[in-house]
Amino acid sequence: DFETKQNVLTAWERSRKREHISYGKRTNMTIKEQRESLPVFKMREELVKAVRENQFLVIVGETGSGKTTQITQYLDEEGFAANGVIGCTQPRRVAAISVAKRVSDEMGCRVGEEVGYTIRFEDVTSPKTRVKYMTDGMLQREALIDTVMQKYSVIMLDEAHERTVATDVLFALLKKAALQRPDLKVIITSATLDAEKFSAYFMDCPIMKIPGKTFPVEVLYSQAPQMDYIESALDTVMGIHINEGEGDILVFLTGQEEIDTCCEVLYEKVQALGESIQQLLILPVYSALPSEVQSKIFEPTPKGTRKVIFATNIAETSITIDGIYYVVDPGFSKINTYNPRIGMEQLLVSPISRAQADQRKGRAGRTGPGKCFRLYTEAAYRDEMAANTTPEIQRQNLSNTILMLKAMGINDLLSFEFMDPPPRASMLSALEDLYHLQAIDDTGNLTKVGKQMTLFPMEPGLSKSLLTAVENACAEDMATIISMLSVQSIFYRPRDKSQDADNKKIRFNHPFGDHLTLLNVFNRWKESGYSKQFCENNYLHERHLKRARDVKNQLSQILRKLGLSLATCYGDMDLIRKTLVAGFFKNAAKRDSSEGYKTISDQTSVAIHPSSSLFGKEHEYVIYNNLILTSREYMSQVTAIDPHWLIESAPHYYKTGDGGNSRKKAKIIPLHNQFSRDQNSWRLSSLRQSKEKA
C-alpha cells in the first residue's frame, strides 16, 4: 500500500541528496529547444496545412514523438482556438492530467488557465482555456448536452489505438457532428499501424506519418514458460542491474498491488546487497498514484545510478519516459472483461496481444539500442498471443453507454455506425439491465428516471440508488456512500503496524456491512472537522477521503440543479439498505448450506471478500457492489439485507418461490429466465427502435 511507496520514495530522495547530481543533456535544453528536438516538429508546417485542408485527419507516430503535447500547441499558435476550444481526449485520467501539466509548463501558464483538463468529478478549466485535455469519457458525456460539439474548433481523439468504449462511441458521434459542422476538425492519432482502418472509417481521409527515430531493440525470450512472472521479473531486473551497461529499466506489471509488492521486495533485496552494487532507484507508476509522485518518473536519473520503473500498461503508449534501455515484459495486463454468465464486469489478468508486446518492446529503443526481456517463450509469442487486442466495446458491459446513446436520441442501435459493432448479445443484455432498473420502458424508450440517471457520471446501479434515495429522503447519506465507493480504498495497513490498523478498522465496522461502514467512516471524519490527525490515527488515506468529499459535492450539485432534495435520514440503516437494493437487487446472494454464498440470479458460487466488514458473519441474504475474481469469485462491498426488499424493489425481477408464505422460510427466485424467453420480441424492437429524436 501507500506506506511502502513512501518508503521507496524517501529512499529515492535520500539517494538524490547523497549523490552528486548531474542531470542529462535534455534538461539543460530550454523548453523551446526541447520542443524543437521532437520528431513531430519537423512536420509542423505540413501538419497544420493538412488540418486546414481536411476535416478528418489520421496521424500516426511512435510514442514520444510529440503528438499529444505538441500538435494542440501548433494549432493554438496558428489561431485555431479563435473559433473554439482545441480539445484532446485521453483514454486515461492520469495521462490527461500529466499532459495538461506538461503543456501548461511549455506554454508558461498555470493549469486551468490557457491549458486545462477535465476528468470525472474534476474540472480544471476556465473561460480562458484554449487547449483542453480530457478523458474520452468526459467528452462523451459532453455530447449529451451538445451533440455537435459547438464549443470546439478541433477535437483530437488521441491514443485511438487503445479502442476504449468511449473513444469508439466518439468516433461515431464526431463523424456525425462533423458532417453537420463543416468547420469542425477531427484528428485521430494512433501509436500503432491501424491507421488504414481509421482512415477508411473517416471518409478515406489522409494519413500522416511522423517519422520516428528509433533504435534497434534486441529481444530475449524465456527458454521455458515461467511459473511465477513476478519472481521472474524481479530476477531479471537484478540480472540487468548487475550485468548490463547503463540505462534505465521499465517493467510492465498488471496493477497497483503487484507493483507495490515488487517495489517493496526489490527495495529489500537491494538494501541487503548494500554498497556492493550500484545504486538503484525504484519507482512505481499507475493511475492511482498522486501526481506529485508521478512526476518523479520524468526526472532524469542521477549519474552513477540506475532507475527501475514498475508500471502498468499506462507506460505502453500514454506516458513516455526517457532514458529506458531495458524493458522487462511478463506478457500480461489486466483487462476489464464482461462476463455474460454472471452479467458482471471483471478485471482479469490476461495475456497481452502481439501488438502490445511489440509496443512494449519499442519503449527500449527510444534513446539508444535497447534490450527487451520477454518472460515468455518465442513460441508463445508466435502461436498463443492474439495479433491485436479486442476493442473494449466487444468485451464490456454496455449499459451505461447505451443509456447515454438513448439520451442523445440514438435509439436505432443496430444501425449506429460503430467501427466494430459490439456483439448483439451484449447489447441485448445491456438493454435488459436498463429495463430491470426501469431506466427504459418496455418499448425501449428512456423513462423519466432513465433520463435523470444519465446526468450522473457513474454506473446505472449507483445512479438508480441515488435517485431512489431522493424519493426515500436519504439522498445525503446515499451520496456519501456512493462517493466513498468511487474512490480508492480508504484504509491502509502498514506492515509494521498491521495489528493496530486492523483494530482501528474494526471499530468503524457496521454490523450490516460495508456500505454503512463507509458512511460511518466519512461521518466520523466529518465530525472530526475533516481532521488530518483523525486520518493518521485511524490509518485512513486522507487524500482519498478528500476526493470522496469532492465527489460528494459534485453529486450534491447535480441533485440541486435538478431541484431534488438532499435529505438525510441520519443513518437509518434499514432505509439506507432498502434504497441500495433498488440499484443492486441484481447482485443478490443467498448463503449456501455447504460454504459461502450463491448468487440468486444464476447460482454462481461466491464468497465474501476477506476485506469486507461482513467477512466471517453469517447473514442469510446480502447484496454486493462487484465481484472480484482471484482464486475464487469474491463479493466486494457487501451489505446484509432482508430478502423481502428484493421483491419490493424489483417485483419484475424476483418472485417468492415455494415456501414463501412464512417470513422465515422465504425463498426468492429470479424471473429473468422467463423474461428472456417471453420478451424476445421486445428486445429486438428496442434495439431497432427507429423513432429517432430530431
Q: Single out the residue of 11, 64, 124, 580 in contact with ligand ADP (rule: CB under 6 A).
A: 64
Smallest gap from Cβ 251 to ligand ADP, in A, equals 18
69 vs 587 by CB, closer to ligand ADP: 69
Which of 232, 207, 183 minimizes the C-alpha distance to 59?
A: 207
Smallest gap from Cβ 42 to Mg ion, in A, equals 17
Smallest gap from Cβ 319 to ligand ADP, in A, equals 7
Strands 621-629 and 588-591: antiparallel
Which of 613, 636, 633 minimizes the C-alpha distance to 623?
A: 636
158 vs 477 by CB, closer to Mg ion: 158
Per-residue cell: 681: 420480441
Smallest gap from Cβ 133 to ligand ADP, in A, equals 11
CA 609 to chain centre: 22
Q: Is 168 helix (H, G, I), strand (E, B) or coil?
A: helix
CA 516 to CA 523: how far, in whole Å?
10
Which one of ligand ADP, Mg ion, none interacts with residue 38, CB within 5 to 8 A by kind?
Answer: ligand ADP
Smallest gap from Cβ 356 to ligand ADP, in A, equals 16
154 vs 638 by CB, closer to ligand ADP: 154
Using CB under 6 A as the binding rule, whether residue 70 contacts ligand ADP is answered as: yes
Task: Check if the beta carbon of residue 355 is closer than 8 Å to that of residue 361.
Answer: no
68 vs 612 by CB, closer to ligand ADP: 68
* Span interacting with ligand ADP, options 14-22, 60-68, 488-496, 637-645, rule CB under 6 A: 60-68
How many other CB atoms sit within 10 Å of the CB of residue 612? 22
Per-residue cell: 534: 483523525
Q: Single out the residue of 123, 235, 322, 441 in contact with ligand ADP (rule: CB under 6 A).
A: 322
Using CB under 6 A as the binding rule, whether residue 68 contacts ligand ADP is answered as: yes
Give me the residues that bind Mg ion (CB under 5 A), please.
Answer: 68
Give the E-state strand segments of 45-102 in sequence order.
Answer: 56-61, 85-90
98 vs 256 by CB, closer to ligand ADP: 98
68 vs 520 by CB, closer to Mg ion: 68
DSSP secondary structure string for all residues of 608-672: E-TTSTTTT---SEEEEEEEEESSSEEEEEEEE--HHHHHHH-TTTEEE-TT-SSGGG--EEE-H
Give the E-state strand segments of 122-184 in sequence order.
Answer: 122-124, 131-135, 152-157
Strand partners, 88: 133, 156
Q: What share of the chain is helix, strand, coil (3-state, %, to 5)?
A: 45, 20, 35
* Span interacting with ligand ADP, options 59-67, 232-240, 411-419, 495-503, rule CB under 6 A: 59-67
CA 650 to CA 673: how far, in whole Å?
15
DSSP state of 352: P
How many other CB atoms sit within 10 Å of the CB of residue 139? 25
Which one of ligand ADP, Mg ion, none interacts with residue 472, CB within 5 to 8 A by kind?
Answer: none
Smallest gap from Cβ 535 to ligand ADP, in A, equals 29
Task: Please work out the total of residues on this chain that contact ligand ADP, with binding judged by CB under 6 A.
Answer: 17
Which one of ligand ADP, Mg ion, none interacts with residue 441, CB within 5 to 8 A by kind?
Answer: none
Q: Which residues 101-120 are close enough to bind ligand ADP by CB under 6 A?
A: 101-102
Q: Which residues 7-46 are close enough to bind ligand ADP by CB under 6 A?
A: 38
Smallest gap from Cβ 516 to ligand ADP, in A, equals 41
Smallest gap from Cβ 99 to Mg ion, in A, equals 7
| Per-residue binder mask for ligand ADP (CB under 6 A), 282-301, x = binder | ----------------x---
Which one of ligand ADP, Mg ion, none interacts with residue 284, CB within 5 to 8 A by kind?
Answer: none
Per-residue cell: 228: 511465477
Which one of Mg ion, ligand ADP, none interacts with residue 353, CB within 5 to 8 A by kind?
Answer: none
CA 388 to CA 354: how far, in whole Å?
6
Per-residue cell: 1: 500500500
Q: Single out the residue of 1, 8, 50, 67 in contact with ligand ADP (rule: CB under 6 A).
A: 67
Using CB under 6 A as the binding rule, whether residue 682 contacts ligand ADP is answered as: no
98 vs 486 by CB, closer to ligand ADP: 98
CA 547 to CA 461: how far, in whole Å?
21
CA 239 to CA 269: how far, in whole Å?
12
297 vs 484 by CB, closer to ligand ADP: 297
69 vs 468 by CB, closer to ligand ADP: 69
Using CB under 6 A as the binding rule, whether residue 686 contacts ligand ADP is answered as: no
Which one of ligand ADP, Mg ion, none interacts with residue 544, CB within 5 to 8 A by kind?
Answer: none
Q: Single out the residue of 65, 192, 480, 509 in contact with ligand ADP (rule: CB under 6 A).
A: 65
Q: Single out the residue of 2, 43, 66, 375 in contact with ligand ADP (rule: CB under 6 A).
A: 66
Using CB under 6 A as the binding rule, whether residue 247 contacts ligand ADP is answered as: no
Q: Which amino acid is at 543?
A: R
CA 517 to CA 485: how far, in whole Å?
11
Task: Check if the beta carbon of residue 556 is closer than 8 Å to that of residue 479.
Answer: yes
Which one of ligand ADP, Mg ion, none interacts with residue 356, CB within 5 to 8 A by kind?
Answer: none
Smallest gap from Cβ 315 to Mg ion, in A, equals 12
Smallest gap from Cβ 65 to Mg ion, in A, equals 8
Q: What is the 3-state secondary structure (H, E, C) of 533-571?
A: HHHHHHCECHHHHHHHHHHHHHHHHHHHHCCCCCCCCCC
Using CB under 6 A as the binding rule, whether residue 515 contacts ligand ADP is answered as: no
Task: Check if the beta carbon of residue 615 is closer than 8 Å to that of residue 609.
Answer: yes
CA gyration radius for the chain?
26
Q: How far is it between the farthest Cα atoms of the chain?
A: 80
Q: Which residues 75-104 are close enough to bind ligand ADP by CB under 6 A?
A: 98-99, 101-102
CA 254 to CA 130: how far, in whole Å?
35
Smallest gap from Cβ 94 to ligand ADP, in A, equals 10
Q: Which residues bind ligand ADP (CB under 6 A)?
A: 38, 61, 63-70, 98-99, 101-102, 298, 320, 322
